[in-house]
Structure 1
Amino acid sequence: MPHKYHESQVRRTDAVEPSEEEKQTQEKPAQKEQSEEEKQMREKRRERTERGREVGAEEADAGEKT
């Protein structure tokens, strides 16, 4: 039995619903905020490690605990 629609027509009608990739791109603004927070956390961590190298790891650890 022949198909009712041509393959290109079926794809076009399927494209009306957003694909998984499109759904993820729509959700990206929320992920962008998270990544901004992650950048700040990484920056703080990097500053701590740099300070630790300058001062000495033991002194930096003692300073964070108090």
Structure 2
Amino acid sequence: MAKSTWFTHEIMSTQQAEDLIKQYTLRNIQTSKQLSADYTGWYVSALLPEYRVEPRASRTWQNPVWR
């Protein structure tokens, strides 16, 4: 299993934070929501997996001429 690390998103509105948390919940990812220090928005943190190497993009639909 991959190591997990907390990733914190930039400050956002209440609706944006709720939508983001809903998307993470659908993928069974643990989340946390904190009110910003100046009470203007929310920070959303998610416990995401961390891998040694980045996933490679699929080359199935890439035309060599486009590069």
Q: TM-score range by the shorter chain?
A: under 0.3
Larger relative contact order (Cα-Cα within 8 Å, sequence gap ≥ 6): 2
TM-score by length of 2: 0.26
- Larger fraction in strand: 2
- Larger fraction in helix: 1
TM-score by length of 1: 0.27
Please identify the structure whose Cα radius of gyration is greater. 1
